[in-house]
Structure 1
Amino acid sequence: MRRLKKILKIIIPVLGLLFLAFCMFIYSLTPEYEGEKDLKNLSNQVDVYYDNYGIPHIYGATEKDAIRALGYVHAQDRLWQMELLRRIGPGELSEIFGKDLVETDKLFLSLGIDDYSKETVANLDPNSDYVKLAEAYLDGVNQFQEEGPTPVEFYLTGVDKRPFTLKDIHNTIGYMAFSFAMAHKTDPLLSTIKSKLGSAYLKDLSITTEPSSTLIENYDPLKDTLQLNLASKLASTFKNLPIPLFEGSNSWVLSPQKTKNKAVILANDPHIGFSQPTVWYEAHLSTPTYKKYGYHLAGVPFPLLAHNRQLAYGLTMFENDDVDFYYEETNPKDTTQYKTENGWRKYNYKHKIIKVKGEDDVKFTVKSTRHGAVLNGIATSVTEEKPVAISWIFTQVENKLLSALYGMSHSESMGTFKRHLRDLHAPGLNIMYGDAEGNVAWWATAKLYKMSDSTNTKLILNGTNGIQERGEFLDFSENPHAENPPWEFVYSANNQPDTINGRFFPGYYLPENRAKRIEQLLRPKNDWDKASVSKMITDVTSAVDPTIVTNMAKNIDISKLDINAIKLLDQLTNWDGSATVNSVESSLYQRWVFYMLKNTLKDELGEELFNQLLTTHFHKRLIAPMVSNSSSIWWDNVTTTKVETSDDIFQLSLTDALLSLKNQFGENTEAWTWGKIHTLEHEHPIGKVKTLRKYFNVGPFPVNGTKEVINNMGFTYSEDSIYKVTSGPSTRRVIDFSDIENSISILPTGQSGSPFSSHYNDQAQMYLNGEFRKMMMNKEEIIATKKSLLVFKPHARVE
């Protein structure tokens, strides 16, 4: 016993010291939000006031000083996120996460983002203002990386730090551009369906570009006119990404005639895959020559969303088609050549190396045609003999994106702002605009091109004869747009734009659900204010789903249902389409739709193609048209001798849905609430490790909303009993020019990416509740209410 006591006397203090050391280590990793720091190359002191949510309000004598400080504070909150984003384009994720990411790295290397970034940087003018500011931002990032505490993720993964460069900025922008593109999921899938089933089966899938009731109306006051393996492999490639994809968005801008206080109001909520940390980093910069409250991507110096006292802008995804696939033909007599309309041409070859954690380097060769990289051999399951090349506009046009973002953020009028938009060649964006002068506008920014009318760009094209090549690019003035239209508002919900000069532009537009609801709410009301707009941006009611229910329910044989099922069906047919956490109707509706899709499509497509279809935008477009089309070729189950009708499928699918919910929740139908099925968890890449999940992930939470309502909480249909939300509003912003200092926003979790920061998840519950916080711009208020002050002083020079 005495010996044990002696041992304990030694062990307990040692354990105490180890625990104290651990606590000190954890504390050392926390971002520093107060105190004084020397910052290299600073000309004057910069004051950074942090508000109660960790938003930095940066005041400097010059813009270079302020943006250098931005780089430092951005890095101390988001360095790990910066590291991941810059690694995607050059194919460097396997170096962190191992062999599971090799095919993802191969694809991104083949796309040529890194080569394109190198070329872009080599051609930059080092004396241009935007380059100098970008380098100042990088100086701040790199000084933090050299001197600040290393984020815990670097320790857990063993990643070595290296300086950030201009190429890294362009690689991050390149990843953003490709993550918007939907063709990589859609074109190979549709080509496979056509090849496997025939053209008749494409007819009812709503893939064509044609008029709908919610076209985004153009208005120009000057004119006054209104293959299975490939598909599945590309899908799985992006599934492994530790960074979210950009997916959709809502925005509307109201003219003074539509608002209570006779000033413009802009609302915007870009829809992006949920992650932890959240995508956007908020920062307010103020100098004598530049003042902006902006939302930044990790590692990008200029904001993509921003406002000041003069103007505000936001974005949604245009969803235009800027990626095409081409079948090529190799010369049987010389495999180094491929066929063109002008004869045989040499393939281009580039040798690449991927570093893989814990494994030998992977060496491979990218073979390219005039269209782009040949994917055979890149995605290992692409086994077709015929080469398939991917053609992406992003890498085929001079890159002026960083200059454009700089120009947009430095504009002080609608005219100067618009001039910079023509340089946003990809990804396709709807830029939403409003200002203190009462102007409202939207512009579709992209390099749009002419194509022969007989060419369907949603299928893999013939690359050998020159007939299906892209034609000339249109001038930016011909892009869809509306400036101060007579209907007094502009909006976008990724729905299809109206024609320009009689031509519809091919794209991967979302169904009219959100657009219809936005119009339904906006048109009759002319006294909008900040409170009513903020309520609208969290709206969870579908303008389309009740009609879908009516079409599916009208011929249901209730004699085949028990009394509880009849009551539920009656509830559902009287449902207003609202998806709240307590809604039983939402649970039954979504389960019914899933089984309708499964029982309609899976017999023809098979398991793999059906699951792939559910990851695309166009499966959402086909639901409403299909349930109203009783003559669709898809209704018959090809595996049975009977010829099924739509009513047969609706009846079977309702039975399947009811049984599924009963098995999940029991007989008590009141327990079948949406919040038990529909949950949101903000996943950190490290949180995929089960033992670390609770320390890095935020959630899960039951969450209001559903796919294709204004509060768009997207999920993928599956046999799983829980629908895990994967994408939704990455921020909600309401900018009111009648009270600009009290404009409001929210982030899904928090401002900081450090798990040890108090701002890691301090907005998560507010976000779920549909609440907002102020985006402060008044310096006196910021100082009076600050949580802390971080002062950057010019780096002391040693004589």
Structure 2
Amino acid sequence: MKKLKKVLLVLAGLVLLIAIGLFLFVQSLKPDYSGKKTLPGLSNETTVFFDQYGIPHIYAENEADAFRALGYVHAQDRLWQMELIRRVAKGKLSEVFGSDLLETDKFFLSLGIDEHTAQTIAELDMESDMVKLSQAYLDGINTFVDNGPKPVEFYLTGLEKEHFSLEDIYNTVGYMAFTFAQAHKTDPLLTNIRNQLGEEYINDLAVYSDTSTVWIKNFREPGVDSISSTVTASVFRALDKLPIPQFEGSNSWVIAPEKTKNGKVILANDPHIGFAQPSVWYEAHLSTPTYEKYGYHLAGVPFPLLAHDRNLAYGLTMFQNDDLNFYGEVTHTSDSTKYKTEEGWLDYEYVTKEIKVKDAEPVSFTYKKTRHGPVLNGIAKQITGDGPIAMDWMYTKIRNEVMHALYGISHAADINGFEEALPKIHAPGLNVMYGDAKGNVAWWATAKLFQMPDSVSTKFVLNGASGEEEPIRYLDFSENPSAINPPWHYVYSANNQPDSIAGMLYPGYYLPENRAKRIVQLLDAKDDWDKESTAEMALDVTSSVNPDLITELIKLLDVSNLSEEQLIYVDSLKNWDGRYSLKSSNPTLFHRSTYHMLKNTLEDELGEEQFNQLLSTHLLKRQIAWGAKMKSGKWWDNVNTPDIVETRDDVVLKSFAEAWISLTNDFGPDPSQWTWDKVHTLEHPHPFGKVESLRKYFNVGPYPVNGSQEVINNLTFQYDSTGYYKVSSGPSTRRIVDFSDIENSISILPTGQSGNPFSKHYKDQAELYNDGGYRKMMMNRQEIETTAESVLKFAKK
């Protein structure tokens, strides 16, 4: 018995020692928000005050010191995120996650982002202020890489920390540019539909611009100048496996003094990005004697994409212009190394790449390039058949000055200096929103736009051999859509179609009018906007389109076929105000019915695979209301029932019945139990969250959330057969900048500032975000110092 007690005591001691060791190990992995550290290259002591949400307020004597400190604190909170995002363009995800990411790596390597980056860096002026500050930021990151603890993800994957370089900054921007593009999801699919079904079916899809919807209006003061299916399937597979978020859409509006209570500009912005953990933005406030910005930074990018100071504020939404085209090439019949052009035969260029794969041998692959870009045939089985398809992407075609643009807008002193930097943004296409303390409001659509020959649609695979479907010219920036101080006293963007300055439509993949219509409706109705009412508007969950659509479709229901309970519910739907609140059941039935209507309309012609592909496009979002209102058309008839010709009435009645049955099966016969909170949920996924045993430690959520797709509080999802709507993207931040009280402007992040799961700031904003709350973006130094949760001082080495 004594021996047993001794053994048990020894075992208990060992368990205690292991627990203590594990505790100390975890503590060593946490970000260090206090104390003193040396920072090589620093010229003066720099102080970082961390507020209660872990946001750094960096005070330095010069910009280089401030950006060096920013690099360090950014890395200690987000090094794993930085590591992943820099690997995408270089095809290095398989090195972390294994062969499952091979197709994704091959696809992104074929885009040529890494090659374009190398060319761009070779042409940089290394003595420019942009490069010097970027290098200072990188020095801060690399100091943490050398001296800071490895994030837990590095231990779990076996990765070692490595230095960051200018190459990584540009590759990150290139990844961002690609995720903004929509053509890769849409053009080959539409081409297949046209080839398989004919033009009549295409004409019944919302492919082209609808002049009856709400468009963004341009305004310039007179005399004022201003500076194929297999392709789609493979692209979806490659992007679906990405362990980092993609950019989706956005809202922004800037209200002029004439429409605000305090006579000062108010800017609102909520960029819509795929939800992930950590969330995409890292907030930081930098202050020096010559520079101050409160900004939002991408992982590994020094200059903020969203920011404000006491003089001006800016935000972004996606322009949604078409900057990526596909070309069908013609290979020589007797010499497969050549392809046809209008001036004769040219040689294919062959590119060979090698990909390192975790726990496996490296994989080598070769792809071809034409004058248009990479030929996708053979890249990870992307295209079958004989016809080569090349991808022509604006980002890699012309000189890259995007980083110079980000430096320029973040260092502009006024609207003129700000606008001067914008022509340097060639891709991705961005709606840049601006407001300042002097009362100016402005919107510019920034991108290198081009004009195509008449009657050529860039929504389909183009003829690469004839020379007749090439761009005629690039537009000057003065021809881009914009509005500066318009007489209606606000500017806005909701990724919808812009009006034309150049007397031509700008091809794009614009989202439907739903959010735009609601934004205009609310802004026009009120002339005394303040911070509180603007913040409330950003949380608006009322659809401006769906109630009218329901009213029209209900007219098609044969009431004699409906039960008494269904009739009561139909009356409820008639009176629905379009609000997506958690305890409402109308949204649940609406979206179940919408999915079944789409399925019953489109899937018989498209097949299951192409139907699911279409569900993932922006085109589908435009199609819902536009198509449902079409009284007759090719899509309504079910081709699988040749003896019956179905009509819109038949499809609507069938879809309503199927939705009712599916909801009864899921939640019981009482419609009051079919509430939105049971089907509309948000979870922020970490790459390791795919492992069920790690999910609760790395993922944040799930939570029931109000809102929906294409309302202002745009918490969007993809339709599928489950009838559950797992939110995939939404506001990556909600910012309200009020120039009447600049130091009390407000914001929120979806989860938290830190990407380190052991940090207290990993998810400390999640509950506030879900509840529609905000927190202050502090800029007053005295308040920052007196309320700081911790202080970190950097001394020169």
Q: Do they superpose with TM above 0.5?
A: yes
**Pairing 1:264–2:265 present:** yes
Deviation readout 1:118-170 (Å, 9 max, x if unpaired): 11111111110110000000000000011011100000011121110000000
5+ residue gaps, structure 2, are none
Indicate the residue corresponding to 1:436 in structure 2.
437
Indicate the residue corresponding to 1:764 in structure 2.
766
Deviation readout 1:517-547 (Å, 9 max, x if unpaired): 0011000210000000000001000000001
Q: Offset at 1:224?
A: 8.5
Indicate the residue corresponding to 2:78 in structure 1.
78
Indicate the residue corresponding to 1:395 in structure 2.
396
Indicate the residue corresponding to 2:693 in structure 1.
691
Indicate the residue corresponding to 1:282 in structure 2.
283
Q: Offset at 1:350?
A: 1.3
Q: Offset at 1:721?
A: 3.2
CA contact under 8 A between 1:705 and 1:712: conserved in structure 2?
Answer: yes
Indicate the residue corresponding to 1:330 in structure 2.
331
Amino acid at match of 1:546: P
Indicate the residue corresponding to 1:344 in structure 2.
345
**Pairing 1:162–2:162 present:** yes
For 2:221 and 2:51, the matched residues in 1 are separated by 43
Indicate the residue corresponding to 1:504 in structure 2.
505
Deviation readout 1:708-755 (Å, 9 max, x if unpaired): 000001100001132110000000000000000000000000000000
Amino acid at match of 2:47: D
For 2:575 and 2:709, the matched residues in 1 are separated by 20
Amino acid at match of 1:747: L
CA contact under 8 A between 2:353 and 2:364: conserved in structure 1?
Answer: yes
CA contact under 8 A between 2:44 and 2:60: conserved in structure 1?
Answer: yes
Indicate the residue corresponding to 1:593 in structure 2.
594
Indicate the residue corresponding to 2:777 in structure 1.
775
Indicate the residue corresponding to 2:727 in structure 1.
725
Indicate the residue corresponding to 2:460 in structure 1.
459
1:664 to 666, 673, 690: 666
Q: Offset at 1:209?
A: 2.6
Q: Offset at 1:222?
A: 2.9
For 1:183 and 1:148, the matched residues in 2 are separated by 41
Indicate the residue corresponding to 1:110 in structure 2.
110
5+ residue gaps, structure 1, are none
When the two structures are superposed, what TM-score results if normalisation uses the length of structure 1? Answer: 0.99
Deviation readout 1:430-489 (Å, 9 max, x if unpaired): 000000000000000000001012111010000000000112110001000000001100
For 1:633 and 1:433, the matched residues in 2 are separated by 45
Q: Offset at 1:633?
A: 1.3
Q: Give the secondary-structure state (helix, strand or coil) at the position aligned to 2:450.
A: coil
Q: Offset at 1:213?
A: 3.0
Deviation readout 1:230-289 (Å, 9 max, x if unpaired): 111111110000011101000000000010000000000000000000000000000001
Amino acid at match of 2:666: Q
Indicate the residue corresponding to 2:654 in structure 1.
652
Amino acid at match of 1:196: Q
For 2:34 and 2:443, the matched residues in 1 are separated by 41
Amino acid at match of 1:693: R
Give the alignment of 1:12-91 within 5 angstroms: 12-91=12-91
For 1:224 and 1:397, the matched residues in 2 are separated by 28
Q: Offset at 1:358?
A: 1.2
Indicate the residue corresponding to 1:637 in structure 2.
638
Indicate the residue corresponding to 1:370 in structure 2.
371
Q: Offset at 1:79?
A: 0.2
**Pairing 1:244–2:245 present:** yes
**Higher alpha-carbon deviation: 369-378 or 623-632:** 623-632
Amino acid at match of 2:759: S
Q: Give the secondary-structure state (helix, strand or coil) at the position aligned to 1:371.
A: coil
For 1:436 and 1:670, the matched residues in 2 are separated by 50
Give the alignment of 1:353-752 within 5 angstroms: 353-640=354-641, 641-752=643-754
Q: Offset at 1:569?
A: 1.3
Q: Give the secondary-structure state (helix, strand or coil) at the position aligned to 2:268.
A: strand
Q: Give the secondary-structure state (helix, strand or coil) at the position aligned to 1:634.
A: helix
For 1:328 and 1:532, the matched residues in 2 are separated by 54
Deviation readout 1:690-725 (Å, 9 max, x if unpaired): 100000000000001000000001100001132110
CA contact under 8 A between 1:263 and 1:436: conserved in structure 2?
Answer: yes
Deviation readout 1:401-455 (Å, 9 max, x if unpaired): 1111001000010000000000000000000000000000000000000101211
Deviation readout 1:331-360 (Å, 9 max, x if unpaired): 111111000000000111111001111111
For 2:690 and 2:698, the matched residues in 1 are separated by 9
Q: Offset at 1:501?
A: 2.9
For 1:361 and 1:677, the matched residues in 2 are separated by 43
Deviation readout 1:649-677 (Å, 9 max, x if unpaired): 00000001111111110112211100100
Amino acid at match of 1:24: L
When the two structures are superposed, what TM-score results if normalisation uses the length of structure 2? Answer: 0.99
Indicate the residue corresponding to 1:311 in structure 2.
312
For 1:121 and 1:4, the matched residues in 2 are separated by 69
For 2:723 and 2:551, the matched residues in 1 are separated by 25
Amino acid at match of 2:297: H
For 1:311 and 1:619, the matched residues in 2 are separated by 37
For 2:617 and 2:75, the matched residues in 1 are separated by 34
CA contact under 8 A between 2:376 and 2:382: conserved in structure 1?
Answer: no
For 1:425 and 1:578, the matched residues in 2 are separated by 38
CA contact under 8 A between 1:551 and 1:627: conserved in structure 2?
Answer: no
**Higher alpha-carbon deviation: 352-361 or 553-562:** 553-562
For 1:332 and 1:644, the matched residues in 2 are separated by 46
For 1:634 and 1:648, the matched residues in 2 are separated by 12
Indicate the residue corresponding to 2:93 in structure 1.
93
Amino acid at match of 1:360: E
For 2:369 and 2:8, the matched residues in 1 are separated by 69
Q: Give the secondary-structure state (helix, strand or coil) at the position aligned to 2:320.
A: coil
Indicate the residue corresponding to 1:140 in structure 2.
140
Amino acid at match of 1:473: Y
For 2:387 and 2:4, the matched residues in 1 are separated by 76
CA contact under 8 A between 1:230 and 1:379: conserved in structure 2?
Answer: no
For 1:572 and 1:232, the matched residues in 2 are separated by 37
Amino acid at match of 2:749: L
Q: Give the secondary-structure state (helix, strand or coil) at the position aligned to 1:352.
A: strand
For 2:382 and 2:746, the matched residues in 1 are separated by 48
Q: Offset at 1:381?
A: 4.4
Q: Offset at 1:379?
A: 3.3
For 1:213 and 1:604, the matched residues in 2 are separated by 28
Q: How many residues are matched?
A: 794
For 1:500 and 1:721, the matched residues in 2 are separated by 43
**Higher alpha-carbon deviation: 261-270 or 555-564:** 555-564
Indicate the residue corresponding to 2:177 in structure 1.
177
CA contact under 8 A between 2:592 and 2:723: conserved in structure 1?
Answer: no
Q: Give the secondary-structure state (helix, strand or coil) at the position aligned to 1:217.
A: coil
Q: Give the secondary-structure state (helix, strand or coil) at the position aligned to 1:335.
A: coil
CA contact under 8 A between 1:91 and 1:106: conserved in structure 2?
Answer: yes
CA contact under 8 A between 2:251 and 2:271: conserved in structure 1?
Answer: yes
For 2:691 and 2:175, the matched residues in 1 are separated by 25
CA contact under 8 A between 1:31 and 1:76: conserved in structure 2?
Answer: yes
CA contact under 8 A between 1:210 and 1:504: conserved in structure 2?
Answer: no
CA contact under 8 A between 2:480 and 2:502: conserved in structure 1?
Answer: no
**Higher alpha-carbon deviation: 141-150 or 623-632:** 623-632
